[in-house]
Amino acid sequence: LSTLEERNNLASDVFFTWLNTPDAVGAFWKAQTPQMQQRIEGYVAGYNRYLKEQGAPAQCQAAWVRPLVAQDLVKLTRRLLVEGGVGQFAEALVGAKPPQATASVQPSAKAFALAAANQQRFTLDRGSNAVAVGRDRSFNGRGMLLANPHFPWVGGMRFYQMHLTIPGQLDVMGAALPGLPVINIGFNQHVAWTHTVDTSKHFTLYRLTLDPKDSTRYLLDGKSVPLEKTVVTVQVKQADGSLKPVSHPVYSSQFGPVVQWPGKLDWDSHYAFSLRDANLGNDRVLQQWYAMNRAGSLKELQTSVHTLQGIPWVNTLAADDQGQSLYMNLSVVPNVSAAKLAQCSDPRAGLQMIMLDGAHSACAWDVDPRAAQAGIFAADQLPQLERSDYVQHSN
């Protein structure tokens, strides 16, 4: 591959092929309710009808513009889920290779520099302002909401205005990211809500102690365990226009994929590093926003978030027509207690990225039966505040 852009595109293709395997996409689809499957299929049908009747805009007249299938929206949803986790480590996942091995796909130093800058800017670029005003401070005794998301104006992370109606079932207006058949930020007759990017951790790293005899095996509770090797194959366009398959191995421990970041997370003969992203197990995200879209009160919205726990990496602020305001930092957060952090992490690593000891199974995330997903905190363990004057969050 001759150019930096081509190498970076190949690394991206490998990452998303790894992320959205047929099994992963199929499992996500099966986890959806019949109603949500219908919403997804309806979105696809509407898009395809427009494409057939109106055609693509002039700037999109290209061979890659094609009708959608439901699986495309599942893949897009999963891509958005990992924005706060392994999605920030795409280059590190693709670039991970055992010592002395030669990688078929090797991200450039510039790609890692850009990835590091994107990590630093994740909260800043995607940060937002929100104010939910209650009856004590509003002019009419009802709730009021200011939503000021700082998402980009262009690209795959921009918001599109929508008004969704199903007679007798749904009447909600607001904005959503492209490809999502629900409103992310909006209002209905009774309640309004918005989001700001949170500062909770949505993944942890695990430092693997390697078997001295084989750097593709790691020690877990004193036993040597092999890393799982998955071969990912993507099609690469050649100079003559033909397609050629390129295969690339991805290694994983029981905690998650191995990631290698030169100078920060190096895979040598002693250690390697795995990443576990809590949102890889979050198949509730679309049902979560659909429940919020249909909520008839602030209490109903709050109960849905407590029950489903499908919000991936944002805070929620809301107000209703009864004059109540609400703040919730109820996202998908790894269940790592302060005691476990003290027992399993190296304090020298700091708290910017949580790194746990992968040599002991006792350092795996705790499982709370009250939580909607194994390995995350239950909703009542996370911050939330209901008031009748106002709540605010800005970042």
pLDDT along the chain (395 residues), means of 10: 63 95 98 97 97 91 91 97 93 91 62 60 71 96 95 89 95 96 98 95 96 97 97 92 93 97 91 97 98 97 98 97 97 96 80 87 97 97 97 94
Q: Which has the closest alpha carbon to 197: 289, 130, 145, 132?
A: 130
Answer yes or no: do 26 and 107 share one domain.
Answer: yes
Answer yes or no: do 103 and 248 share one domain.
Answer: yes
d(CA 219, CA 212): 9
Q: Looking at residue 215, which CATH number applies to its domain? A: 2.30.120.10
Q: Looking at residue 174, which CATH number applies to its domain? A: 3.60.20.10
- 249 lies in some domain: yes
Answer yes or no: do 112 and 215 share one domain.
Answer: yes
Structural domain count, the chain:
2
Answer yes or no: do 120 and 132 share one domain.
Answer: no
Answer yes or no: do 195 and 293 share one domain.
Answer: yes
- 117 lies in some domain: yes
Domain assignment of residue 389, given as a range: 127-201+280-335+371-393
Cβ-Cβ contacts under 8 Å for 357 (sequence gap 6 or more): 206, 207, 344, 345, 346, 363
Sign of CA dihedral 75, 242, 107, 252: positive
Answer yes or no: do 119 and 207 share one domain.
Answer: yes
Answer yes or no: do 73 and 113 share one domain.
Answer: yes
Task: List beta partners, residue 228.
Answer: 252
Residue type, 212: P
Answer yes or no: do 188 and 289 share one domain.
Answer: yes
Q: How far is CA 114 from CA 107, 111, 117, 145, in A?
A: 11, 5, 5, 36
Q: Choose one of 257, 277, 297: the last residue of a domain.
A: 277
pTM (two decimals): 0.92
- 300 lies in some domain: yes
Q: How far is CA 182 from CA 36, 164, 288, 298, in A?
A: 9, 8, 9, 18
Answer yes or no: do 226 and 151 share one domain.
Answer: no
- 364 lies in some domain: no
pLDDT recorded at residue 64: 86
First to last CA, the chain: 40
pLDDT recorded at residue 5: 58
Q: Choose one of 277, 297, 313: the last residue of a domain.
A: 277
d(CA 376, CA 356): 16
Answer yes or no: do 287 and 265 share one domain.
Answer: no
- 21 lies in some domain: yes
Per annotation, catalytic residue among 2, 12, 108, 128: 128
Strand order in the sheet with 144-149: 144-149, 128-133, 390-394
- 39 lies in some domain: yes
Write 41-48 long-range contacts (CB < 8 A, 24+). 41/70, 42/181, 43/73, 43/179, 43/181, 44/68, 44/69, 44/70, 44/72, 44/73
The yes-or-no answer on residue 394 being catalytic is no
- 73 lies in some domain: yes
Answer yes or no: do 231 and 183 share one domain.
Answer: no
Answer yes or no: do 170 and 284 share one domain.
Answer: yes
- 175 lies in some domain: yes
